[in-house]
A = this chain, B = another copy of it.
C-alpha cells in the first residue's frame, strides 16, 4: 500500500502532530503510516482524505504514485 500522506501534509504546512490532532490519532500513528510501517483503517484513511479535501484514491494506492514532477508535467 503506497501513500502520499507526507506530500499532502507538508504542502498543507502541517506537522505530524498537527495532522494527528486533526484526524484524532496519536502522532506516532501518522509517522507509522507515512513510512508504510502499517496500513490505515478505512476510517482513518477517510479522515485524512477529508482533511485534504481529496478522494482517497489520490492519497492511497496499491500501485506506486508517479512523481510530482511527472504529474505536473502531464497536467
A41 to B43, CA, bound (A): 8
CB nearest to A1 among chain B residues: B43
Interface string of A30-64 (1 = CB under 8 A from B): 00000000011111111000000001110010100
Query: Which residues of B have CB within 8 Å of A40?
Result: 42
Count chain B CB atoms within 10 A of each CB in A42, A57, A60, A62 and give the residue with the most. Answer: A42
When the two chains form their complex, are residues A1 and B57 in contact, meaning their CB atoms are under 8 A apart? Answer: no
When the two chains form their complex, are residues A62 and B39 in contact, meaning their CB atoms are under 8 A apart? Answer: no
A60 to B44, CA, bound (A): 13
CB nearest to A45 among chain B residues: B42
Name A residues whose Cβ lies closer than 8 Å to a Cβ of B. Answer: 1, 39-46, 55-57, 60, 62
